[in-house]
Amino acid sequence: MDVAGTEVGREARAGTASRARGNAARLGLLALPVAFFAVFFAYPVAAIVGRGLKADGTWRFGRLADVLTQSDIRHVLWFTTWQALASTALTLLIALPGAYVFARLDFPGKQVLRAVVTVPFVLPTVVVGTAFLALVGRGGLLDDLWGVRLDTTVWAILLAHVFFNYAVVVRTVGGLWAQLDPRQEEAARMLGASRLGAWRSVTLPALGPAVAAAALMVFLFTFTSFGVVQILGGPTFSTLEVEIYRQTTEVFDLATAAVLTMVQFAAVGAVLAVHAWTVRRRETALRLVDASVTARRPRGAGQWALLAGVLAVVALLILLPLAVLVQRSLDAPGFGYYRALTSEDGGTFLVPPIDAIGNSLSYAVVATAIAVLVGGLAAVALTRRDAGRFVRGFDALLMLPLGVSAVTVGFGFLIALDEPPLNLRASWILVPLAQALVGVPFVVRTMLPVLRAVDVRLREAAAVLGASPWRAWREVDLPMVRRALLVAAGFAFAVSLGEFGATVFIARPDNPTLPVAVARLLGRPGDLNYGQAMALSTILMVVCAAALLVLERLRTDRTGEF
């Protein structure tokens, strides 16, 4: 008995020691991500808010009430919320049939079409706004054909948001829908339920968390919309993000900008908290099957009609704006707008606009390396489900850069990172650092599902055979997650390439990025500037689309969608 008791005690102590080593290793992995977000996200945001709300060493919290009671600010808050809700509802209405088609129907060209509908999501918002400007704006396709302009109406903004977020619903809801076991719905029909009744009682509840997660992400992206509203909204419509930019760069009222930043931060935090809860429900409440066995050829007139309808929506909503963008870039004979990109005008740019291509590619490569390193370490640390509260809380914080004002982050970089030991204001590294902030959440969300799918017993077996934690990860985890790592790097590259909100503040005039160059060209009158903006947008679209097609070939069923 004494020997047995001693043995049990030894095993218990060994288990405790093993858990302690695991927690220590996890905290060690989080050291770099925590430091990165503290220095390059929390510090700049706190600096800009502090600069706005502090005067002569005294906090002016009364400014909160002063700003929020202004009629024009209340209108901005109302419009921001209203257009986000309307955009979310319209996106769900249009995209849910597409989610079903991509999940349950098999048809020629499906993989290519899946990549095509995802192109708008990785496009910079500046390009999205430019594409719709070419379609519905002055001199656009609708204006030329029927004399109809929508660029001065809210419908242009709503349609552009649907264009941008269509893939969020298709991938988030369709990804789960493809893995739901269809035999459960078939069993309900065998028990007498109608097709609609079986879908309503079996499939819809299972899809609920995914639909909620997609709706929350669409709401988040549209609530913080900047580039689309900046280009299509004009002086009539302004979201919180646009108003923060205006107060910062045109009115120079940092106090108002700081208050609006705090309001947006609180709203985004609430949305992300609800989103994290819905994601946990989706991960733990369902039994899934291999997605490759659930799709089948359309059967019956109804499914063929649904497929035709979805293809028509994709053609009109996704392909048409992109095609018009390309066509407008070719309006000048002999590729005139593209040739004009090689000339230096000394006005908008200090260098030829074509240099923005090389700048963007080099910045995006560095940003991708940073995002993969920081996001990869965070994903490994977050892999275990028994992680402590601090680790789970940091998981939610990783998503904040997607919702917090990029304008605030960019301006905060200029204010906070201009003194030793972080005197980076004149350094080129500021741009990829800002871009990496947006790329890290995509890396984490892409790698986490794959890392969590690795059987922990494989790691334990490697440890029993004497492998160190690093070697066990290198020999066991890395071969299984290599493809997900490449997908994560591709997404980080695409979103870094198109980052605009923060980059517009910190990109130097002699080193503009593609989105900044497009925005500057659109801000100047004249057909030549407009055509060059279309040409640069087309180049940026082609690069993003090429990256996405590579990702689609690398994607696995277990790889995270976003």
Q: What is the pLDDT of residues 64-113, one digit of tens each?
A: 777 778 888 888 899 999 999 999 999 999 999 998 888 888 888 887 78
Quickly state the pLDDT bin for 345 (edges 50, 70, 90). low
Q: Is residue 373 very low, low, confident or very high in pLDDT (cuts 50, 70, 90)?
A: very high
Question: Among the listed ranges 337-341, 350-354, 359-363, 514-518, which one has the minimum average pLDDT value?
Answer: 350-354
pLDDT of residue 309: 92
pLDDT score recorded for residue 87? 94
- Pair of tokens at residue 79: 């419009």
Lowest mean pLDDT among 294-308, 410-424, 464-478, 522-536: 464-478
Which ranges of 43-153 does DSSP label H, i.e. alpha helix?
43-53, 62-68, 71-104, 110-122, 125-136, 141-146
pLDDT at 84: 93
Cβ burial of 556 (10 Å; 0-12, 13-18, 19+) is middle
Q: Is the separation of the CB atoms in 177 and 104 below 8 Å?
A: yes
β-sheet bridge partners, residue 88: none
What mean pLDDT comes out for the span 289-308?
Answer: 74
Separation between Cα atoms, residue 532 and residue 336, nearest integer Å: 9
Please give the residue that has the higher pLDDT: either 330 or 193: 330
Q: Identify the CA nearest to 133 among candidates 116, 117, 157.
A: 157
Residue (of 115, 113, 163) closest to 135 by Cα position? 163
The span from the CA of 205 to the CA of 219, in Å, is 21
pLDDT at 290: 47
pLDDT at 9: 52
Average pLDDT of the residues in 158-180: 83
Burial environment of residue 296 by CB neighbours within 10 A (0 to 12, 13 to 18, 19 or more): exposed
Query: Among 135, 139, 140, 108, which Cα is nearest to 120's?
Result: 135
| Residue 236: C-alpha distances to residues 75, 122, 152, 256, 525 (Å) | 11, 27, 8, 19, 19
Mean pLDDT (whole number) for 158-178: 84
Q: 123 pLDDT band (50/70/90 cuts)? A: confident
- Phi and psi, residue 346, nearest 5°: 75, 5
Residue 91's identity, in one-letter code, is T
pLDDT value at residue 15: 44
Work out the angle between the directed axes of helices 254-284 and 389-397 (0-180°, nearest 10).
120
- CA 541 to each of CA 230, 389, 562: distance values in angstroms, whole numbers, following the listed order: 19, 41, 19
Among 10-24, 71-85, 262-276, 327-341, the minimum mean pLDDT is found in 10-24
Whole-number pLDDT of residue 196 = 67
Is the pLDDT assigned to residue 5 strictly greater than 60? no
| Of 38 and 278, more confident | 38
φ/ψ (deg, to 5) at 465: -80, 5
pLDDT, average across residues 457-477: 68
How far apart CA 244 and CA 253 sit, in angstroms, is 9
pLDDT recorded at residue 455 = 64
Please state the pTM of the whole predicted model. 0.77
**pLDDT at 298 > cutoff 70:** yes
Q: What is the pLDDT of residue 2?
A: 56
Kindly report the number of other CB atoms within 10 A of residue 96's CB atom: 18
Q: Is residue 536 pLDDT above 80, yes or no?
A: yes
- Give the per-residue pLDDT at 193: 66
User: What average pLDDT does range 492-502 have in this prediction?
Assistant: 82
Structure tokens at 167: 């893939």
Q: Which of 354, 321, 285 has its CA nearest to residue 536?
A: 354
pLDDT value at 312 more than 90: yes
Residue 25 has pLDDT above 50, yes or no: yes
- Cα gap 334→202, rounded to integer Å: 58
The rounded distance, in Å, linking the Cα atoms of 183 and 201 is 14
Which residues partner with 55 through β-bridges? Answer: 58
What is residue 94's predicted lDDT score, i.e. its pLDDT? 94
Tell me what pLDDT residue 72 has: 86
Residue 169 tokens, joined: 């619903």
Which has the minimum average pLDDT: 57-61, 123-127, 271-275?
57-61
Give the whole-angstrom CA distance, residue 521 versus residue 343.
14
Q: Is 17 exposed, middle or buried (0-12, 13-18, 19+ CB in 10 A)?
A: exposed
Nearest 5°: phi and psi at 194?
-75, 170
